[in-house]
Amino acid sequence: MKRSLFFLLFLSVSFLVFPHNDAKGETDYAGAETCKSCHEASYESYSKSIHGKKVVPNNPANDKGCETCHGLGASHVEKGGGRGVGEFIIFSKKESAEEKSAVCLNCHETSKKLALWDMGQHKKNDVDCTSCHNMHLGETEKQFEICVRCHKSTKIDINRQSRHPVLEGKVKCSDCHNPHGTLSHGMILTDNVNQLCYKCHADKRGPYVWEHPPVEENCSICHNPHGSKTAKLMREKIPNICEDCHDWSRHPGTIYDARTGFAGSSPSNRFFARSCTNCHSDIHGSIAPVDPSSGYNSGKVFVR
Amino acid sequence: MRLKSICLITFSLIFLSSNTSFANDPDNSDASGSIKIGARSVEGGEDSAKLWEYRDLRDGAVGNVKLNIDKESYFLNMTGKSIGLDDQFFRVKGGRYGHYNYSIYYDEIVHNLSFRNKTFYSGIGSGSLDYYAANRSANTDSSYTPNIPTTEFLWSKFDYSTNRRDMGLTFDIKFDSPYYLTVKASQIETKGIKPIGSPSGVYVDRTGTQTSAFGNLIEIPAPIDYWTKNISLEGGYKTKGFVGSVNLLFSKFENPNDFLRWRNPYVTTSSVYEKTSLPPDNDYYKLSAQGVLKQLPMNSSLSINAGYSNIKNSLSMLNTITSSASGTATTTPTYFTETLGLNNSTYTGDISYTTASLALTAKPRDLLDLKLYYNYLKKDNKSTLIEYTDLTTGGKVDSELFNYSKNNFGLDADYKLSSVTKAAIGYEYLKIDRERNDAKSTSDNSVYAEVKNNSFDFLTAKLKYQRLWRSSDFKNDTLGTGTTDVNYIRRFLRRFDATDKTMDLLKLGFDIYAAEHLDIGLEYTYKTNDYNTTKLGRTKDKRDEYYVDAVYEYPDRLKLTGFVDYETAKYDSYHRYINPTGTYSYDPDSAPVINSYNWASILEDKNWSVGAGVEMPVRKDKLDVAASWTYAEADGRNDFTSQNNIGNPLDINIYDDYKKHTLNVKAIYRFVKNMNIIGGYAYESMEYKDEQYDGYEYVMTTATSPNSYLTGAYKDRNYNANIVYLLTSYNF
């Protein structure tokens, strides 16, 4: 009895003194060379990518290689391999966006680009890192081609007759948006729309003596920055968009119908060619007070 | 030496020296890259700025280069595209992994608006436009013809086009600590010519009398010569639990042409010069700070952002206008202060923005995500208030400094109802207070509900509904002394961006994984705005969009893509025409008469887009081909009705109608290990029609009003072009 008690006590002490190996031991990892033996193409693409460069500090190449991201491989190998065998993360549709992103955030969480990831619409809508980034193949598509996989309406807009040079590669989605998250609506890079537009269109900053209030408040009241069938990225044709806010004696309350075009019976320079902006050229703002010959010809109404 | 040539030579020297460095120490370096050189020929479309809108499509040589070098812990990437052309791009990126990186770039963006425009003015592209014509005492012919060369073929030809050169550098330092520093500097130079127009203000009629003019138009080429210089500094601190940064930005915009000075062709008795204002210089700075706390209880993150920015300029008001009242330039200070009643000879522009944002995300339960946010923005316009006397009415007019503030907060909640269903609801409030004499404030209340389900392995379905209520505080109810006072109409006029409305948005989407390599997407969007208190202005708008796409991708074998999109948009509006002579009223509820009546407009757009693409290896590791085709069609119309059919308005049937084809075919043949031959063909066409441009005239003559003079801006949108190119690519 005493011997049995002593043996039990010895076992208990041993159990307490010698730590359980809940931590992953080296035997749980298969090693990158083992992965390569079956997944040569994936290994080659990984080794050529930035993740595979040993000179980059804290890289998977300096850690557990493939298993840094995909998880422990030993059990997968022991069971003879195969799809879904072992405790793997294969970044498929079966894993949640949060699970997949957590792998990347393990290393990249301190990146300043990802500071606001938790606040962004992409995380909220279950977009994960692999939705846009291909770790093995790198950049195989142009940036906008990745974005329009989900933003289908924008894909149509950037191909309309009036647009920014996105298709030519001169403007990228990330020139205006931060896909990793911001505090702004639409995940734009700045606090509001106008500050964003002024980055490239500083000529619209003013300050102007005469301001056009909707211009000052939000450029996107009149313009669709992704693209439009109407010139100058206007959401609606001129004079229609102007007449939606303005009515007065004579024009702009006049009907500018089919008679008022060049080929019509009563051509009007308030309709043909550039319509209202034929005369109201300084529509974003003016610094001229008045044409003394006519009080109507003034900066206040943006004709000077 | 041209800046373009300097950049090309500098890039070439860096490229060659990098290759030399690699060649001298190949064992410790790893280099790869490609050089593509070839030729291109374009047939057709030379007269259309639309084809060339953002591209330099000259016949001749084309070339791109790429180089990547890794040497120990250092790296260098170089890219050159469209070398030597007006849309060329260069970039050098490099650094030391984990320590610092830098990027230097030079990018040219061409924007062609229209070609072969013409004008009787000389000095095109400068800030002063003139023409020679002898003065005469009066117009002697029956039409109101100014004294300019009226024969168009004698006018000077030019292009409306801008060329933008954007160059900059970024330097990022990661210290051996959580601290980092980023420095950015850039310069954007934009030069070119754009169209503007002005009414003449006056003209001299057949009797020799100078009359205030309200009906004529001169379209004129205005110079673009803009410089924007930016520099920013960002210092930050980042750990897993906290990221903080402070950012300072300076930006300077310069335009040497405050005005476009142009001779007024409608004043025939003497040479009178007008001025139209151009964008003024400005200085801008912004200071902002941001902090993000992570790993808080309940898996929370808290983010705070605050910023202050300021835009300033200073202008002399005495330079801003020349007077055509007496036919001579009058710029004396006493004229401006006594005759015009100008209250200040100098305008100081001073606008500041204060912003603040706060957001809290949390996961209080395993299946529940919450987000609470608040945003604040205030615009303060502390610019000089400019006042002058309106010579037509004798009254005082001031510049109405526009200020506003925005307060916005919202709550989003996402909940996993089950392993296959996720629901989200949200509420948002936005209040805008404006210093404006009509729409003082608007308040938006918005709610949404969304559900996503993937009960079946092959299908994900999403449905979202959003409703917004906007109420506004318009202060125009007592304007106008009576129904024949023009200000009376403002009681009924609503600006659509600042008036009461309800908005409904519905989005439905399906992602179907139809087979192992086949994905199909379906999406429907419906959005409508009902401006329910608007009597005059936009009353309703609506948008429907249907989208279908499919991708079949068998890796390394075949990729097929296709899509179809159909969209309709409709804008309803209601207006009043008033000719203030005889019997008329500004009240839209009064009986219609010939001089005042209501009319309605329905603007409708229909848009089609179709596309297909194929990529496949014809012979493995030897020959790949790719082809794509897209077709876009737009069809617009504007229908009118008027009370008692007064004026018998005629509908517009052709309104921004176009058909656009793009076909691309490319083949890549690997004839030896590192060398490819790439051959390609593209067909592009655009057929554009619009009643605002059809039958275009440079001189528009009517019997009842003075001539209008145009230059042809935006009239060349049609094209039919065949583009062929052949490139050799060396990869290493």
Radius of gyration of chain B (CA): 31
Our CA-based measurement puts residue A30 at a distance from the nearest CA of chain B, in whole angstroms, of 27
Cα B402-B406-B407 angle, rounded to 5 deg: 155
pLDDT over 90 at B633, yes or no: yes
Our CA-based measurement puts residue A4 at a distance from the nearest CA of chain B, in whole angstroms, of 47
End-to-end CA distance of chain A: 109
Our CA-based measurement puts residue B294 at a distance from the nearest CA of chain A, in whole angstroms, of 9
Integer Cα distance of A102 and A96 in angstroms:
10
Please report the pLDDT score of residue B199 as a whole number: 84
Report pLDDT digits (tens) over B128-175: 999 887 766 655 554 456 667 767 667 899 999 999 999 999 999 988
Our CA-based measurement puts residue B315 at a distance from the nearest CA of chain A, in whole angstroms, of 8
Give the nearest chain B residue to A152 (CA atoms). Answer: B547
Among candidates A155, A200, A217 on the partner chain, residue whose Cβ is nearest the Cβ of B404:
A217
Q: DSSP of B584-632, one letter per residue?
A: --S-TTSPPBTTEEEEEEEEEEEEEEEEEEEEEEEETTTEEEEEEEEEE
Give the nearest chain B residue to A252 (CA atoms). Answer: B577
Higher-scoring residue by pLDDT: B578, B46: B578
Structurally, chain B folds into a number of domains equal to 1
Residues 215-254 of A with CB under 8 A from B: 216-218, 221, 229-231, 236-237, 240, 243-250, 253-254
Residue at B557 is within a domain: yes
Contact (Cβ atoms closer than 8 angstroms) between residue B513 and residue B457: yes
CA dihedral of residues B586, B591, B597, B600 (deg, nearest 10) = 110
Integer Cα distance of B189 and B228 in angstroms:
7
Stretch A260-265: mean pLDDT: 92
At residue B434, the 3 state secondary structure works out as strand
Report pLDDT digits (tens) over B10-69: 666 666 565 555 555 555 678 889 999 999 999 998 889 999 999 999 999 999 999 999
Please report the pLDDT score of residue B354 as a whole number: 98
* Beta-carbon separation of B609 and A156 below 8 A: yes
Please report the pLDDT score of residue B228 as a whole number: 97
End-to-end CA distance of chain B: 33
Residue at B354 is within a domain: no
pLDDT band at B325 (very low <50, low <70, confident <90, very high): very low
Cα B376-B378-B380 angle, rounded to 5 deg: 170
Please report the pLDDT score of residue A290 as a whole number: 67
CA dihedral of residues B110, B116, B120, B123 (deg, nearest 10) = 30
Give the nearest chain A residue to B349 (CA atoms). Answer: A207
* Beta-carbon separation of A300 and B640 below 8 A: no
pLDDT band at A18 (very low <50, low <70, confident <90, very high): very low
Residue at B607 is within a domain: yes
Q: How many CB pairs under 8 A join A and B?
A: 403
Question: Does residue A9 sit at the B interface (CB-CB below 8 Å)?
Answer: no
Among candidates A118, A247, A281 on the partner chain, residue whose Cβ is nearest the Cβ of B301:
A118
Our CA-based measurement puts residue B88 at a distance from the nearest CA of chain A, in whole angstroms, of 10
Our CA-based measurement puts residue B433 at a distance from the nearest CA of chain A, in whole angstroms, of 11
Residues 529-558 of B with CB under 8 A from A: 536-538, 545, 547, 549
Contacts of A300 in chain B (CB under 8 A): 397, 399
Question: Does residue A47 sit at the B interface (CB-CB below 8 Å)?
Answer: no
| Cβ contacts of B11-18, under 8 Å, gap ≥ 24 | B11/B78, B11/B80, B11/B90, B11/B92, B14/B78, B14/B92, B15/B65, B15/B67, B15/B78, B15/B80, B18/B67, B18/B69, B18/B76, B18/B78
- Structure-token pair, residue B295: 């790993």
* Beta-carbon separation of A237 and B638 below 8 A: yes
Contact (Cβ atoms closer than 8 angstroms) between residue B381 and residue B403: yes
Integer Cα distance of A169 and A49 in angstroms:
24
| Cβ contacts of A183-191, under 8 Å, gap ≥ 24 | A183/A116, A183/A119, A183/B303, A183/B305, A183/B357, A183/B359, A183/B373, A183/B375, A184/B357, A184/B375, A187/A120, A187/A121, A187/A122, A191/B305, A191/B307, A191/B353, A191/B355, A191/B357, A191/B375, A191/B377
Give Cα separations from B617 to A103, B629, B724 (angstroms). Answer: 34, 19, 21
Stretch B630-647: mean pLDDT: 97
Question: Does residue A40 sit at the B interface (CB-CB below 8 Å)?
Answer: no
- Return phi, psi of residue A216, to 5°: -70, -30
CB burial of residue B524 (10 Å; 0-12, 13-18, 19+): middle
Contacts of A288 in chain B (CB under 8 A): 259, 275-277, 320-321
CA dihedral of residues A152, A154, A158, A163 (deg, nearest 10) = 160
Give the nearest chain A residue to B397 (CA atoms). Answer: A300
CB burial of residue A297 (10 Å; 0-12, 13-18, 19+): buried
Contact (Cβ atoms closer than 8 angstroms) between residue A293 and residue B325: yes
Integer Cα distance of B655 and B635 in angstroms:
7
pLDDT band at B409 (very low <50, low <70, confident <90, very high): very high
pLDDT band at A217 (very low <50, low <70, confident <90, very high): very high
pLDDT band at A159 (very low <50, low <70, confident <90, very high): very high
Report pLDDT digits (tens) over A53-96: 888 888 898 888 898 999 888 888 888 888 777 777 788 877 88
Contact (Cβ atoms closer than 8 angstroms) between residue B570 and residue B560: no
- Strand residues in chain A grouped as ranges (E): 290-291, 294-298
Residue at B549 is within a domain: yes
Among candidates A211, A274, A304 on the partner chain, residue whose Cβ is nearest the Cβ of B402:
A211
Higher-scoring residue by pLDDT: B321, B519: B519
- Is-cis flag, bond preceding B580, omega within 30? no
Report pLDDT digits (tens) over B58-77: 999 999 999 999 888 899 99
Our CA-based measurement puts residue A36 at a distance from the nearest CA of chain B, in whole angstroms, of 20
Report pLDDT digits (tens) over A273-303: 999 999 999 999 998 876 655 666 678 889 8
> What is the pTM assigned to this prediction?
0.92
Residue at B555 is within a domain: yes
- Return phi, psi of residue B103, to 5°: -145, 130
Contact (Cβ atoms closer than 8 angstroms) between residue B68 and residue B31: yes
Residue at B380 is within a domain: no
Among candidates B347, B547, B571 on the partner chain, residue whose Cβ is nearest the Cβ of A209:
B347
Residues 490-529 of B with CB under 8 A from A: 493-498, 513, 521, 523, 525
Report pLDDT digits (tens) over B88-100: 999 999 999 889 9
Name the residue among B608, B441, B62, B217 with its Cα closest to residue A262. B217
Our CA-based measurement puts residue B515 at a distance from the nearest CA of chain A, in whole angstroms, of 14
Find the DSSP H helices in B655-715: none
Please report the pLDDT score of residue B329 as a whole number: 44
Contacts of A119 in chain B (CB under 8 A): 301, 303, 359, 361, 371, 373
- Structure-token pair, residue B470: 């906007």
* Longest CA pairwise span in chain B (Å): 94
Sign of CA dihedral A105, A111, A117, A123: negative
- Total Cβ atoms within 10 A of residue B84: 15
Give Cα separations from B728 to A146, B87, B663 (angstroms). Answer: 28, 21, 22
Our CA-based measurement puts residue B217 at a distance from the nearest CA of chain A, in whole angstroms, of 7
Parent domain of B585: 438-655
Contact (Cβ atoms closer than 8 angstroms) between residue B338 and residue B313: no
Q: Which of B17-31, B491-505, B700-714 has the lowest mean pLDDT?
A: B17-31
Among candidates A126, A266, A271 on the partner chain, residue whose Cβ is nearest the Cβ of B692:
A271
Please report the pLDDT score of residue B7 as a whole number: 54
Integer Cα distance of B348 and B326 in angstroms:
30
Contacts of B656 in chain A (CB under 8 A): 161, 229-231, 237
* Beta-carbon separation of A287 and B708 below 8 A: no
Chain mean pLDDT for chain B: 89
Give Cα separations from B636 to A261, B541, B567, B715 (angstroms). Answer: 15, 15, 12, 18
* Beta-carbon separation of B496 and A112 below 8 A: no
